[in-house]
Amino acid sequence: MPSALHQAIVEALREKPGVVRELGRRVERRIPAGGHLEVRDSKLADLSPPDYSADLVVMVGSEAQPRFGLVVEVQLAVDEDKRYSWPLYVATLRARYRCPCCLMVLAPDRRVAAWAARPIEVGQPRSAFVPLVLGAKAVPAVTEGRVARRRPELAMISAIFHPDDAAVARAAIEGARRLFAVDEDRAARYYDVIAGVMSPRVLGLLEAEMATQGYQYVSEFARKHAAQGFEIGRQEGREEGREEGREEGRAAEAVRAILAVFEARELLVSAEVRDRIAACKDLDLLACWLKRAVKVATAAEVFDQ
């Protein structure tokens, strides 16, 4: 069964098939730069068993005049069965629409990308099937907030392929925040994916930044990586809940951020230090400790005056 990350990538591409063309043209210039795009039925054969169904099919051109077909597969792990079904996908699509077609594989993991890029010998002399594979080098690192706000799907995919780049994660979060105003469910899914793929180092840095700036998290991002009791969205800044609850939430968020910074910096945290930080409810003092946490040589030094 496809994972949540796999589905998130597929749904983002289904929502904005233009991203498929843009990414595809980075590795294959035969893909038309212009023309109408349509997401088509991804079932590629009426054979049973098995049921051959790709993750996504995007066609350039109209139903009556197809120009180019793209079979899109999101591959998160090595699966030798795919080396038998992938050539069939492309051959079936080509026979159905009578136009050039190709397979594009998105593989965030370097090892999986190398495996997917190997030519597939189908038995036809002097003719190997070679998938177009997009790894981290082929997917652009979206680091500008203005780009991420305009294209949150591309920003999220960029974060998946560049999990150790804080600028990419920061932009992707900004894109998801803007999306929250028009599609809360999709924005929440994007937040969850972005938070789930960040490296511990990047997660710690961003939590520290956001806590210092009073940023409030959303969705699963909040439940997994910050304190509960916050919400942002179309009513960002709206007063909700009791003041006491909000203050406790901010304190808990700051505690979480301090400990996340320690983890990201691989500093040893004793039980005494952890308990003292967790027990603190003074927001100003916690903010001071958070700033120190980024620089100190040992966790205990955050308490030094």
In this structure, are residues 189 and 172 in contact, taking their beta carbons and an 8 Å threshold?
no
Low-confidence ranges of the chain (pLDDT < 70): 1-2, 45-51, 209-249, 305
pLDDT score for 233? 33
Cβ neighbours, 10 Å, residue 21: 20
- Coil, helix or strand for 66? strand
Q: Please give the structure tokens belonging to residue 240.
A: 């909700």
Sign of the C-alpha dihedral computed for residues 239, 244, 249 and 251 taken in this order: positive
pLDDT score for 48? 43
d(CA 193, CA 32): 30
Question: DSSP letters of 211-244?
Answer: HHTT----HHHHHHHS-SS---STTTT---S-HH
pLDDT score for 236? 38
Dump strand ranges (E) for the chain: 37-40, 56-61, 66-74, 101-106, 120-121, 128-129, 132-134
DSSP code, position 198: S
- Coil, helix or strand for 3? coil
How many CA atoms lie within 13 Å of 272's alpha carbon, on the beta-carbon side?
5
Cross-strand pairs, 302:
none
d(CA 69, CA 57): 7
185-202 pLDDT per residue, tens: 888 888 888 888 888 788
Sign of the C-alpha dihedral computed for residues 295, 298, 300 and 305 taken in this order: negative
d(CA 56, CA 150): 23
pLDDT score for 219? 37
Place of tokens 């924005």: 187
